[in-house]
Chains A and B, each alone.
Chain A
């Protein structure tokens, strides 16, 4: 395997991805990611000098509109899905 993923890298990716992996999962993730990156390295065979990266297949522009409210108060419906709610607000752990 050309791409060897270190413990540091997998821990860093875990922080970015907000995932907590068990030791077993980490080992598997190192293998899986290394193997996928080996495969993705195939793109290096292509000379892409001067090619514009294409994020969209159409030359779409940002679509702007006036910031006008069109829906009513849906807070009750929205809060029904909340894992925790109190006084029309989401309950979350202490953040600071």
Chain B
């Protein structure tokens, strides 16, 4: 149990110092999984033998002094939309239920180079479309804080695995809040980097102009360390950017004196749960007491973010998901009449309801006669939303607000009303539209005992400000987490 309470970097240090081994760490995680997984269902695929074998290899290399990375020997969980060579990668969809990639995502390659050892693949909303991990074709994941509630989504399996100590850290992807919101619901730290910071090579695309890979961790120090490993230019992703300032752990400094923090009034209006509001404003108070300059301001255009996002994301999804046609990989319907019928039947049987809903909407907004009115209009509003953030960051270093309007909803409550579920993304999606980095840090619990998340948003390339502020807040807040 004691080993499981370590953070990822703490564990790597302990292994380096000979106080623990990579094999002991993996065995501890696997027995934790044995005890918890039946209840939580955080994973879609676990390969125990491969995980133990890799841990043994890592331990040998660490002892020989050839594996010295910051995550050497640390067991990790990977969201099931990141390709992993030789291991099932399903996107939690029937249509990819048997897909074994011939290559690994760049993010996975980098983590392995840093010494991390993969446990398995985590559950998610099908193709990352959803906010609860209930649209998975392999059953829902449950919130470790209370099994009657959702873990959030779409990276719900990754967040639940971190919260329940079924891994030491995890990676997820965030298109409209899919890292930050489950991190908030499960009481862990989650960061969505500036667009282009982490290579999307090998990430199965949903909304390509919005998707970013990022860490889900037990604490802010681990978050910085994992992000430092993930970040970097990659010629295999044409939207990957060159940046020099990726030494994120150098920002683990306790200091917010003089930091200018803006609180958007528009984030605290109707629809925000009073308990969430109280906890987030208390966090703002803590920053002010530590010397930050905290002010309210009007961000504007907040109410237009959701319709803009769902137009653009659905359009991109309808295009990206055209590749699933039953020809080269994945599911193919057993009986069909000719090529077109094969395509149609394969897709209709292979995709779940939410995925079909977004493909249909996306096909419509891109169709001749509607393209200008819907898709092009949304791209224009996206430009306006980005401008609103540019104006805000002329005055503030960081924007502070809630991650989601409520804590985790009960299982089964969200799917009956998709539009209502989409409205829960209000505070996270504009960050993706504007390409900004955002972090979710636990800031309290509600009366039901469910975690509340604080969101900090920075200007593009300013992850270090996020990390420094989040690290300082974490120390001000004190210990947080599930009693195991």
Contacts and interface: CB of A to CB of B under 8 A. Distances in A.
Nearest to B432: A57
A28 to B, nearest CB: 8
Contact of A58 (B196, B326, B356, B357): B196
Given A32-B418, A83-B327, A58 B195 contact: yes
Interface in B350-404: 351, 356-357, 359-365, 367, 374, 376-384, 386
Contacts of A82: 328-329
A52 B384 contact: no
Nearest to B339: A93
Contact of B348 (A20, A58, A94): A20
A74 B101 CA distance: 11
A19 B347 contact: yes
Nearest to A35: B419
B434 A83 contact: no
Given A21-B348, A33-B364, A36-B310, A65 B235 contact: yes
Contacts, number: 155
Interface in B51-66: none
Given A42-B307, A57-B386, A58-B241, A78 B332 contact: no
Contacts of B384: 46, 48, 51
Interface residues of B, number: 66
Given A43-B378, A46-B304, A57-B386, A93 B336 contact: yes
A54 B238 contact: no
Contacts of B331: 83
Contacts of B365: 40
Contacts of A94: 338-339
Contact of B344 (A12, A19, A40, A63): A19
A92 B239 CA distance: 34
A54 B408 CA distance: 33
A80 interface: yes
B308 interface: yes
B341 to A, nearest CB: 8
B340 to A, nearest CB: 8
B7 interface: no
B181 interface: no
A52 B418 CA distance: 31
A74 to B, nearest CB: 6
A54 B380 contact: yes
B195 A57 contact: yes
Contacts of B238: 60, 62-63
A29 B196 CA distance: 34
Nearest to B99: A81
B146 interface: no
B269 to A, nearest CB: 16
B377 to A, nearest CB: 5
A62 to B, nearest CB: 7
Contact of B328 (A21, A39, A90): A90
B435 interface: yes
Nearest to B194: A57
A41 B311 CA distance: 11
A95 interface: yes
Nearest to B382: A54
17 contacts: A13-B364, A13-B367, A14-B360, A17-B356, A18-B322, A35-B419, A36-B310, A37-B364, A43-B304, A44-B377, A46-B304, A53-B380, A63-B235, A74-B102, A82-B329, A83-B329, A92-B342
In the A-B complex, the 4 residue pairs with the closest CB atoms: A57-B435, A53-B379, A83-B332, A81-B329
Given A10-B360, A46-B381, 16 more contacts: A9-B364, A18-B344, A19-B344, A21-B356, A29-B356, A36-B418, A40-B310, A43-B304, A43-B307, A43-B377, A43-B381, A48-B377, A48-B381, A60-B238, A65-B235, A90-B328
